[in-house]
């Protein structure tokens, strides 16, 4: 088996060295895939099929100058072909990847930058010594150096990178940048790091299991609960920021940021504990969550409604609504969690479902969907970092098909569960193409629920469901539907989701900038909320946008962990002044009118 | 090779099942060793030779009821014989260990309790779920439960265990007890957890490398420096206490504790922010450091001295002594560190060496002495927890011989280094029996230095050395020696070490109790500071003492990590009321006069 890989690598190396993009492309299946994270493209890019691979190489091969291709593990047979982990280097970096070969041709090639040579991530064998074992009359101790750094950043010393938001995205990125020696400053509007979790509704608990949720460098302890409560995540983020010596200004808002194209830097104004401070970072990264601002309710007759109307982001706990009639609008994750929270507080709860949701039982998803992120995997020595690389080695186009196969299994296995939801009048589907929850999350970041208890309440009629209808207007007592149905409610919680991340750019940079970069997330899959054409990668996440110096980083804990490394590598290269020609940089989404 | 182990285990199992202690002892070499951590003895005990093994079994075998002996790894050839990891269970616990067989007989058997059945440590597969995936109208969230627990402990709820001291010993033990469900309260006199490190002298950095220093459950991140600065350790301990939800009262002193033999509990008085609070724990654990109170200077003529006289524990930084004449008394770790700190601050430093020290270069010790605690070991998958078990599987009697062999290598390798120390007039040895630094640390916890820079300054004459003399008295200007030599000094730092840990008991419990339990540390090796007879184990550490309900836990980070598990198991068993007959419990060291 190793021969299959070694032979292919030898031919590949020869073709690359000849500089002949056609010859290289011939080594792929006609419909083969090449997913690249920075190594060739300084972008996150998947070339699908020989013509796309050829075009990519024509643009990138000479500058990349790849060499030293070799296998780093024994080859293994997979459902996609013979596969092995590989390593190589480029003109400026070490890189690794994975190749899957069928009948002598590459079905999938995955390449990822590892370290910029001379600026390796200081982990393991590269970790700092902590002390020079030599007496030194000019010794500055760790705490003295750290105190100086903290006092100077944002004042005497300008950060290279300004990070807006101190949730998991912000702290993961700041931790990477600290290791890479890129001065970065987090501004977080809340008083403490972790408050973005603490401020959510009372009963919130992570829906993903612990093995999927580790942050960079410091895995959760082996005692950590499988599903972590929100406040405990908040405390973890706060401790993490302390441990990794992150520079973070809390109780600080980012009020404005203007790009100076001549100086190639931002002028940003922040307010820290009432003091206005101007910063001039080279890079501005929005780590404001997986979403933008909330889609606040805007129903006809809204001002007539006499009850309590809240967006899910404003909902904190159910206690005030004990014995009251509650109506939850929506059927995604927040809607389910809020409905349970209200029910637990003793409210009489009805959910108005606007369209079908994807619902999967947590236990099922853990057993079938998280096999590489599990205690069994950890016991086999598969770390989250290695599992991330494995997950990243499958192009999104192929991931869709794999998820469709998974959902066939899930639907059969949990037939009883779905039959009960049916009987309760709850509308579910598995996505437009039956590719399930993860694909919907990637495509639209909405419309799904991992069942941790709400579905049982719905199946048992404890939470009522209204579907097949539309809201006509709010009335003084509740909601009137298009069918003529009227529902009285003392409280209405609109779990109507959030706008895209780029909407966070508008109030800080400008409306024009937000429009120019366009929405985040989505693959161009051509479904509602994710219009085509097919892109093969997520929009705007963790890679250059159409706006110079403007980046988005975030997602759940797992995505924040993995992609923080690649965002940090891109920012480090720019700090160093290494040429970073971006292949396939997105065009402005809409040319701003004042441009 | 596996057969060698399997055959022996089968014979061993048969002999144990017959209840015939003689037959079991015959399966050991005449001078064979059996080291047991709780599994048979509810003690930390090494039986050396067949008669000792026989005696131990006669007392312990029936109650232990061991069964299910099996090999858990492939056997390997070692310098001591054919060895393998094993597992078994007792009447109440699962246990593991290691056996080394030569010519069909056990050379070494190591047995260690793992988990009390039904009360397994909640790690890995046993970790908590964090949430019941079911709606629940009586749900208490994590933060609500935690807030209630914090508010009640020491007030409405009495801790089972009172831990005096919140350094690495206290937090490691409290973290274990939290997992085992044993309510424990730390009282720490300083305002913040970690201050016991922060308060030490400015330039202090750990002399042990990071791979040896992990605390339970949460290894340091892979970015952590090899030698950690003191303030960073302080911050880590503080974050650790937060992450593991430890109940710790800071700015709190433990003023007194009286044992009530009838009620089988303590009455302890603590002062928390000026408020006096009475606690009634069942167990009292001193985690006040590896040492007791400082040996404060008490020299003739001391009151005449007009300069600054400090014990090393009072020394903070050298800055005030720039350009001054400094005399450091002692040649152990503190003396070396303080001498360098003074030299770095620009003082003129002389060290008065009272007796030879053991000095080893840090680099040498890391390469030769810490092979199982290293990045290479970690890369091979050898965790600190597994390395601890490997280290613990060698009885102290055999460890001495292994260390003698190691020091032969070290002396040859670093001959130039020692020749330079010789020429500078620095007196060194390698212990009374050439067993080196680690053995001296275990025997007397003093008189050694891992060179991180001071020895170079001494070799180069930058730090002067006075030896072969004795202090006659202090004079107004400095010190007069027995030889008639007079040394002027603006500052004298007495690095004269510390008393034994049991001296911390005297002011809190009573002089009589401190005397009854006697000193901690030392193996009975018959050298200065560690009088015989030979004990085979350390005095009073991590195991029952001569005083009911009184325990000592601590040592460096590594010992605090490993033994915290065994202290916690002993305390958990007592909380559960499981019979814990202690084999070889120490007799009162000196019967208190008022008994």
pLDDT tens, residue by residue, B56-86 = 999 999 999 999 999 999 999 999 999 999 9
CA distance linking residue B347 with residue B342, whole number of Å: 5
Of the partner residues B203, B217, B226, the one whose CB lies closest to the CB of residue A129: B226
Write the CB contacts of A545 (distance below 8 Å, at least 6 apart in sequence). A517, A551, A552, A586
Token pair of B362, please? Answer: 């840090």
User: pLDDT digits over A198-225, tens only?
Assistant: 998 888 889 899 999 999 999 999 999 9
Burial readout B164-188 (b: 16 or more C-beta within 10 A, e: otherwise):
bbbbbbbbbbbbbbbbbebbbbbbb
The whole-angstrom distance between residue A435's C-alpha and the CA centroid of its chain comes to: 19
Of B141, B222, B231, the CB nearest to A123: B222
CB atoms B225 and A131 under 8 Å: yes
Is A135 close to B340, i.e. CB distance below 8 A?
yes
Confidence of residue A594 (pLDDT cuts 50, 70, 90): very low
pLDDT higher than 50, residue B396: yes
User: Which chain B residues contact residue A239 at CB under 8 A?
Assistant: 239, 242-243
Angstroms from A87 CA to nearest CA on chain B: 18
Both tokens of A478, joined, read 């509740």
Name the minimum distance, in Å, from the CA of A149 to any CA of chain B.
Answer: 15
Q: What distance in Å separates residue B238's CA from the closest CA in chain A? A: 9
Upper half-sphere CA count for residue B15 (Cβ side, 13 Å): 17
Closest residue of chain A to B345, computed from CA coordinates: A137
In 3D, which of A580, A561, A509, A577 has the Cα closest to residue A212? Answer: A561
Tell if the CB–CB gap between B130 and A229 is shorter than 8 Å: yes
Count A/B contacts: CB-CB distance under 8 Å: 173
Distance CA B99, CA B111 (A): 9
Tally of CA atoms within 13 A in the half-sphere of B157 that contains its CB: 14
Place of tokens 């006096």: B276
Burial class (CB in 10 A: 0-12, 13-18, 19+), B368: middle
pLDDT in tens, A252-306: 999 999 999 999 999 999 999 999 999 999 999 999 987 888 998 899 999 999 9
CB-based contacts of B311-314 (< 8 A; 24+ apart in sequence): B311/B493, B311/B494, B311/B495, B311/B496, B312/B201, B312/B338, B312/B493, B312/B494, B312/B495, B312/B496, B313/B498
Query: Using a CB-CB distance cutoff of 8 angstroms, which residues of chain B are in contact with residue A235?
Result: 242-243
d(CA B361, CA B367): 10
Chain-chain contact of B223 with A244 (C-beta, under 8 angstroms): yes
Summarised one tens digit per residue, pLDDT across range A3-37 is 999 999 999 999 999 999 999 999 999 999 999 99
Mean pLDDT computed over A416-423: 96
Categorize the per-residue pLDDT at A132 as very low, low, confident or very high, splitting at 50, 70 and 90: confident
Q: Report which DSSP code applies to A293.
A: S
User: Are B136 and A344 within 8 A, CB to CB?
Assistant: yes
Chain B, nearest residue to A458 by Cα = B135
How close does chain A come to B547, measured CA to CA in Å?
Answer: 33
Picking from A231, A239, A378, the nearest residue to B239 by CB comes out as A239
Is there a contact between B123 and A217 if contact means CB atoms under 8 Å apart? no
Q: Write the DSSP string, A481-522.
A: ETTS-EEE-SEEEE---B--GGGGTTTTT-HHHHHHH---S-
CB A491 within 8 A of CB A308: yes
Q: What phi, psi does A140 have (nearest 5°)? A: -110, 125
Q: Give the whole-angstrom CA distance, residue B364 versus residue B414.
A: 8
**Sign of the CA dihedral running B354, B356, B357, B359:** positive
- Chain B residues touching A233 at Cβ < 8 A: none
Arithmetic mean of pLDDT, B130-153: 87
Give the pLDDT confidence score for residue A445 in this predicted structure: 84
Return d(Cα B315, Cα A144) in angstroms, integer. Answer: 18
Q: How far, in Å, CA of A154 to CA of A281, rounded?
A: 9
Chain B residues touching residue A236 (CB < 8 angstroms):
243
Q: Confidence band (pLDDT; 50, 70, 90) for B542?
A: very high
Q: Chain A partners of B221 at a C-beta cutoff of 8 Å?
A: 217-218, 243-244
Determine contact, residues B263/B282, Cβ cutoff 8 Å.
Answer: no
Banded pLDDT at B576 (limits 50, 70, 90): very high
The answer to whether A225 contacts B129, with C-beta atoms less than 8 Å apart, is yes
The mean predicted confidence, pLDDT, of chain B is 95
User: What values do phi and psi take at A98, rounded to 5?
Assistant: -150, 140
HEC profile of B476-493 = CCEEEECCCCEEECCEEE
Identity of the residue in B133, B206, B231 whose CB atom sits nearest the CB atom of A362: B133
Which pLDDT score is estimated for B595? 39
Contact of A521 with A492, CB cutoff 8 Å: no
Name the residue of chain A whose CA is nearest to B452's CA: A133
Q: What residue in A sits closest to B342 (Cα-Cα)?
A: A137
Three-state SS letters, B191-222: CCCCHHHHCCCCCCECCCCHHHCCCCCCCCCC
Which of A131, A136, A344 is the closest to B227 by Cβ? A131
Chain B CB contacts of A179 below 8 Å? 223
- For chain A, the average pLDDT equals 95
**What mean pLDDT comes out for the span B172-188?**
98
Give A592's pLDDT tier (boundaries 50, 70, 90): very low
For residues A301 and A308, give the distance between their C-alpha atoms in angstroms, rounded to a whole number.
14
- The single-letter DSSP state of residue B366 is I
Q: What is the least distance, in Å, from the CA of B220 to any CA of chain A?
A: 7
- B-chain CB neighbours of A123 within 8 Å are 222-223
CA atoms within 13 A on the CB side of A158: 15
Task: Please write the tens of the pLDDT for every residue from B316-356.
Answer: 999 999 999 999 999 999 999 999 999 999 999 999 999 99
For B358, the 3-state DSSP assignment is strand
Distance from CA of B84 to the nearest CA of A (A): 20
Q: A139 vs B363: CB contact, 8 Å cut-off? A: no
| A-interface mutation test, from B221, B317, B347, most A Cβ less than 10 A away | B221
Judge contact between B131 and A344, C-beta under 8 A: no
Put simply, the answer to whether B227 touches A143 (Cβ < 8 Å) is no
**Residue entry with tokens 């029996």:** B433
Q: Look at A203 and B346 and tell me if their CB atoms are within 8 Å.
A: no
Q: Are A508 and A164 in contact (CB under 8 A)?
A: yes
Q: Take residue B447 and report the two structure tokens written for it.
A: 């008189």
How much is the ipTM here?
A: 0.91
Best A72, A138, A180, A222 residue to mutate vs chain B (most B CBs within 10 Å): A222
Chain B residues in contact with A456 by the CB 8 A cut-off are 134-135
- For residue A293, CA distances in Å to A168, A532, B172 come to 17, 24, 43
Which residue out of B209, B223, B360 would a mutagenesis test of the A interface target, given it has the greatest number of A Cβ atoms within 10 Å?
B223
User: Under DSSP, is residue B264 helix (H, G, I), strand (E, B) or coil?
Assistant: coil
Nearest CA-CA partner of A428 in A400, A453, A409, A447: A447
Q: Reply yes or no on whether the pLDDT at B450 is more than 50.
A: yes
| Residue of chain A minimizing CA distance to B122 | A223
pLDDT of residue A590: 66
pLDDT at B592 over 60: no
Please state the pTM of the whole predicted model.
Answer: 0.93
The chain A residue lying nearest B214, using CA atoms, is: A221
3-state secondary structure of B289: coil
Cα B525-B526-B527 angle, rounded to 5 deg: 100
Q: What is the pLDDT of residue A595?
A: 39
3-class SS at B333? helix
| Cα–Cα distance for residue pair A515/A500, rounded to 1 Å | 11
* Summary count for chain B: helices (H), strands (E): 17, 25
Instruction: State whether A343 and B135 contact (CB < 8 Å).
Output: yes
**Facing residue for B203 by CB, picked from A125, A139, A227:** A139
The 10 Å Cβ neighbour count of residue B429 is 14
Contact yes or no for B236 and A243 at CB 8 A: yes
Cα–Cα distance for residue pair A286/A210, rounded to 1 Å: 25
Weakest mean pLDDT among A138-147, A235-244, B510-519, B562-571: A138-147
Question: Which chain A positions have a beta carbon within 8 Å of B384's beta carbon?
Answer: none
The helix/strand/coil state of B72 is coil
Which of A129, A217, A229 has its CB closest to that of B221?
A217
Q: What is the pLDDT averaged over residues B24-32? A: 98
Q: Which residue has the higher pLDDT, B41 or A587?
A: B41
User: With pLDDT > 70 as the criterion, what percentage of chain B qualifies?
Assistant: 99
Which residue of B134, B345, B456 is in closest CB contact with A453?
B134
* DSSP per residue, A391-452: HHTS-HHHHHHHHHHHHHHHHHHTHHHHHHHHHTT--B-S-TTS-HHHHHHHHHS-SEEEES
- Asked if B141 lies within 8 A of A381 by C-beta distance, the reply is no
């Amino acid at each position: 088996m190793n021969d299959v890989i070694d032979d292919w690598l030898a031919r590949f190396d020869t073709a690359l060295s000849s500089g002949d993009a056609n010859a290289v492309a011939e080594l792929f299946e006609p419909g083969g895939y090449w997913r690249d994270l920075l190594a060739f493209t300084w972008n996150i890019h998947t070339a699908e099929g020989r013509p796309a691979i050829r075009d990519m190489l024509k643009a990138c091969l000479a500058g990349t100058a790849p060499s030293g291709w070799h296998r780093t593990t024994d080859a293994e047979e997979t459902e996609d072909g013979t596969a092995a982990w590989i390593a190589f280097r480029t003109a400026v970096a070490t890189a690794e990847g994975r190749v899957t070969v069928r009948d002598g041709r590459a079905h999938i090639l995955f390449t990822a930058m590892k370290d910029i040579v001379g600026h390796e991530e200081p982990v393991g064998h590269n970790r700092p010594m902590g002390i020079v074992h030599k007496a030194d009359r000019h010794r500055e101790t760790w705490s003295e150096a750290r105190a100086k750094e903290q006092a100077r950043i944002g004042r005497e010393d300008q950060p290279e990178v300004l990070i807006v938001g101190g949730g998991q995205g912000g702290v993961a990125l700041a931790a990477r940048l600290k290791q890479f020696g890129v001065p970065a400053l987090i501004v977080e509007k809340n008083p403490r790091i972790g408050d973005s979790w603490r401020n959510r509704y009372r009963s919130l608990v992570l829906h993903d299991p612990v093995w999927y949720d580790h942050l960079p460098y410091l895995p959760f302890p082996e005692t950590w609960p499988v599903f972590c409560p929100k406040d405990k995540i908040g405390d973890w983020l706060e401790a993490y920021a302390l441990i990794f010596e992150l520079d973070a200004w809390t109780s600080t808002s980012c009020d404005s940021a203007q790009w100076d194209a001549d100086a190639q830097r931002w002028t940003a104004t922040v307010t820290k504990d009432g003091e206005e401070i101007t910063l001039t970072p080279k890079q501005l990264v929005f780590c404001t969550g997986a979403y933008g601002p909330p889609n606040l309710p805007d129903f006809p007759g809204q001002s007539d409604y006499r009850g309590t109307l809240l967006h899910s982001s404003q909902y904190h706990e159910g206690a005030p609504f004990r014995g009251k009639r509650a109506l939850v609008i929506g059927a995604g994750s927040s809607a389910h969690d809020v409905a349970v929270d209200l029910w637990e507080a003793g409210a009489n709860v009805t959910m108005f479902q606007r369209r079908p949701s994807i619902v999967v039982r947590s236990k099922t998803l853990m057993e079938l969907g998280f096999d590489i992120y599990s205690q069994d995997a950890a016991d086999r020595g598969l770390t989250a970092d290695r599992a991330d690389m494995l997950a990243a080695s499958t192009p999104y186009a192929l991931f869709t098909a794999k998820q469709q196969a998974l959902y066939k299994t899930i639907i059969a296995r949990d037939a009883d569960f779905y039959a009960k939801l049916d009987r309760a009048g709850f509308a579910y589907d598995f996505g437009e193409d039956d590719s399930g929850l993860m694909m919907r999350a990637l495509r639209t970041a909405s419309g799904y629920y991992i069942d941790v208890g709400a579905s049982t309440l719905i199946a048992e009629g404890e939470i009522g469901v209204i579907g097949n209808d539309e809201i006509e207007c709010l009335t003084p007592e509740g909601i009137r539907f298009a069918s003529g149905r009227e529902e009285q409610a003392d409280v209405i919680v609109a779990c109507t989701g959030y706008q895209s991340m780029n909407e966070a750019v508008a109030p800080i940079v400008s409306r024009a900038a937000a429009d120019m970069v366009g929405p985040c997330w989505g693959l161009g899959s051509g479904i509602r909320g994710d219009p085509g054409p097919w892109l093969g990668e997520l929009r705007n996440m963790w890679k250059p946008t159409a706006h110079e110096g403007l980046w988005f980083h975030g997602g759940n804990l797992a995505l924040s962990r993995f992609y923080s490394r690649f965002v940090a590598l891109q920012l480090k290269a720019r700090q160093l002044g290494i040429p970073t020609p971006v292949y396939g940089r997105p065009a402005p989404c809409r040319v701003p009118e004042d441009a």
